[in-house]
Structure 1
Amino acid sequence: MLAGVAEKCLSAEPLKSSLQPGEKITTIFEPLNVTGEHAGEPYCLVCENGRAPVAMLFARDLDEPLMKLLVKIDAATAERQKESMGSFVV
């Protein structure tokens, strides 16, 4: 099994995410919400935002560079309220 993983990692093909730009999310994404209106419960923020523009960030650690990025994302989201832009971190 590990040989297969190693072979894939060493192949000449570049790695790519399973979901590509422009592709639709076809499943419900319900992480446990920590803040906001749905804090403490699983809730699909992708569904809530629908076709509106959204910045969805995935993070492993809450560190200073991420906090600086979040300040910028929050500002961009506020500036684009007319377009119903949303943003959240997973």
Structure 2
Amino acid sequence: MPHRGADWGPMLTAAGFTIEGERTIAVNIEGDRSEAIGCYAVGVVQRIRSVIADRLTPEDLAALDQLLDTSSPHSILRRDDLTVRTERPVRAARRA
């Protein structure tokens, strides 16, 4: 995703759209043991790992890999204190 985290407002405007509205949606899910939340968390941590792996000590990388190993007793999927917090900006736009 080449534009992940980008400010889409100027890109949409440059592509000929008019921004009609903007909002930030906050998500805070605490203590939910649902499979969907666990899979979301694994995906996020996998993306983080792919960016920082070369900067971690071997011990830290091994600990991170245990969290990502879905068959490990230390897997993120087995945690009962998993919390997901995120914010996403949303824009409504129309062709100018």
Choose 1 or 2 for highest CA Rg: 2
User: Fold match, TM over 0.5?
Assistant: no
**Larger RCO (CA under 8 A, 6+ residues apart):** 2
TM-score by length of 1: 0.26
Bigger share in helix: 2
TM-score by length of 2: 0.25
